[in-house]
Amino acid sequence: MTDKKRGLGKIKGFTIQFLPYSEIRDLNSDERIKKILNIILTNNILILQGRLIPTEEARLIGDTMAMVGYVKEFKGIELAVISGNDKEGFFGKMTKGLANAIAGGDFSAMTIIGPATIVKEMKRNPKKIELLLNR
């Protein structure tokens, strides 16, 4: 895909795309990250059912950074994960997340990823995620 097609120049609008976990369940880590970045690079805010495993999240950040400066106007992403039960604490969720990842996804979680050109900030607290958009 060329930079022109991605159209990250002047932001005229954006769409919110929902991706059910079934769409990435059978993909390997490389394919998952490629799919996510392709959605983000076409000015979409992605709402993913479930979450990536921590190593995939780190990989997503690394691959995102590799694209900054190479894809026109791309400045990176904003990313937030919210999970169903916050009483467990992050470690509980992470452990559960790893177990769920093996079993096929943590469905109680939701991941929101948006291009930094559109999403200025994602404010997260245990109960909610707020998206502040760039004008």
Partner 1 sequence: MEIKIFKNFFKRVFSNLFNNKKEIKLGFYGPPNAGKTSLANRICKDFTGEEIGTVSKIPHETRSVQFKEKVEISFKGKKMTFKMIDTPGIATKIDYEDFLKFKVSKKDAKNRAKEATQGVIESIKWLDDMDMVVVVLDATENPYNQVNITIIGNLVARKIPVLIVANKIDLKKTDIKKIEAAFPEYEVVGISAKYGDNLEEFYESIFKLSKKV
Contact between 69 and partner 1 (CB under 8 A)? yes
Which among 128, 104, 102, 132 has a CA at the least distance from the CA of 118?
132
Contact between 125 and partner 1 (CB under 8 A)? yes
Which among 80, 74, 17 has a CA at the least distance from the CA of 52?
80
Shortest separation between residue 129's beta carbon and partner 1, angstroms: 9
Tokens of 44: 């979409």
Number of residues that bind partner 1 (CB under 8 A): 34
SS3 11: coil
Contact between 58 and partner 1 (CB under 8 A)? yes
φ, ψ of residue 59 in degrees (nearest 5): -65, -40
Work out which of 123, 130, 132, 133 binds partner 1, going by CB under 8 A.
123
Taking the least distance from each CB to partner 1, the nearer of 35 and 59 is: 59
Contact between 95 and partner 1 (CB under 8 A)? yes
Give the Cα separation of 56 and 59 in Å (integer).
5
Contact residues for partner 1, defined by CB under 8 A: 53-55, 57-59, 61-62, 64-66, 68-69, 75-81, 89-92, 94-95, 97-98, 116, 122-126
